[in-house]
């Protein structure tokens, strides 16, 4: 808010008038946002780029201000610590759900179902799939997994495995139970993690970076080098079960 006031002063506003204008604006925005329902706040926040808005506000007391009211308030800059902390809490809770925990009576599948209709929920690169197409993506992944044997997989095989997992992970299927689809994606990811240690990682990574660089989607100089821990993972059946 101080930054906004400073900007008005820089534009020639008298300091006192700038302070009064921002005070009035803050009251109006807080009043408007404060009268929205939780569902409306979540949808509005999702449209503005907030990730997993249904995972914040659980501890708001009756009559208290929902954290999304503050996050959506344009008076405060997007990079303010308080706004960043709200998004960080949602990310923390989502990570716990992805690890298999249940929070506030919700599982990962519950949250996925709640947020399926939010604006901007589908990430760039996602695709609408029928249940049959999801099963086809599972089959393709299992085939790529079978062709990437432990300790012997080459870079081409590892690239194919990662591409198959990404394809499945990007699928959006309203016709399939959210819990079933999320289980399939989680199982595929569990298989890819140890597979990254099977083959010459540098060969596979170089190929992926080269392809992304050719498409202009990544700067090779900024690609971090890291190792994934090896751990066993199950294959998928046609229903997404391990």
Spatial distance between the Cα atoms of 14 and 31, rounded to a whole number of angstroms: 26
Identify the residue with better confidence: 199 or 78. Answer: 78
Contacts of 121 (CB under 8 A, 6+ apart): 46, 115
For residue range 188-229, list pLDDT tens digits in order: 887 776 544 544 444 545 555 565 566 555 455 544 444 443
pLDDT band, very low/low/confident/very high, at 151 (cuts 50, 70, 90): low
- Long-range interactions of 41-46: CB distance < 8 A, separation 24+: 41/66, 41/68, 41/69, 41/72, 42/68, 42/118, 43/118, 43/119, 44/68, 44/72, 45/71, 45/72, 46/115, 46/118, 46/119, 46/120, 46/121
What are the extents of the domains in the chain?
A: 2-115, 127-222
Q: Which residues pair with 128 in a beta bridge?
A: 172
Spatial distance between the Cα atoms of 71 and 45, rounded to a whole number of angstroms: 8
Percentage of residues in the chain having pLDDT higher than 90 = 24
- What residue has token string 């800059």? 77
3-state secondary structure of 171: strand
Spatial distance between the Cα atoms of 153 and 167, rounded to a whole number of angstroms: 20
For residue range 121-147, list pLDDT tens digits in order: 555 567 888 989 999 999 999 998 888
* Stated length of the chain: 242
Buried b (16+ CB within 10 A) or exposed e, 95-126: eebeeeeebeebbbbbbbebbeebeebeeeee
For residue range 34-55, list pLDDT tens digits in order: 899 999 999 999 888 898 899 9
Spatial distance between the Cα atoms of 39 and 33, rounded to a whole number of angstroms: 12
Residue (of 235, 152, 155) closest to 192 by Cα position: 235
Torsion, Cα 117 240 151 163, to 10 degrees, reads -40
3-state secondary structure of 203: helix
**What does the block give as tokens for 9?**
């002063």
């Amino acid at each position: 808010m101080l930054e906004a006031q400073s900007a008005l002063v820089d534009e020639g506003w008298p300091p006192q008038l700038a302070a009064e204008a921002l005070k009035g604006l803050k009251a109006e925005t807080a009043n408007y946002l404060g009268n929205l329902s939780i569902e409306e706040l979540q949808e509005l926040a999702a449209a503005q780029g907030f990730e997993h808005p249904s995972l914040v506000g659980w501890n708001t007391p009756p009559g208290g201000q929902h954290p999304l009211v503050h996050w959506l308030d344009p008076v405060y800059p997007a990079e303010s610590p308080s706004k960043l902390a709200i998004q960080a809490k949602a990310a923390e809770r989502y990570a716990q759900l992805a690890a298999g925990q249940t929070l506030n009576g919700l599982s990962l599948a519950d949250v996925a179902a709640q947020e399926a209709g939010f604006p901007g929920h589908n990430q760039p690169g996602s695709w609408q799939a029928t249940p049959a197409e999801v099963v086809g993506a599972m089959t393709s992944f299992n085939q790529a997994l079978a062709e990437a044997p432990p300790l012997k997989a080459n870079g081409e095989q590892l690239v194919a495995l990662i591409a198959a997992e990404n394809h499945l992970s990007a699928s959006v299927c309203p016709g399939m139970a959210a819990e079933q689809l999320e289980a399939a994606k989680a199982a595929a990811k569990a298989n890819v993690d140890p597979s990254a240690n099977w083959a010459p990682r540098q060969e596979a990574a170089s190929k992926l970076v080269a392809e992304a660089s050719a498409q202009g989607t990544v700067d090779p100089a900024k690609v971090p080098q890291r190792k994934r821990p090896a751990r066993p993972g199950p294959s998928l059946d046609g229903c997404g079960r391990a």
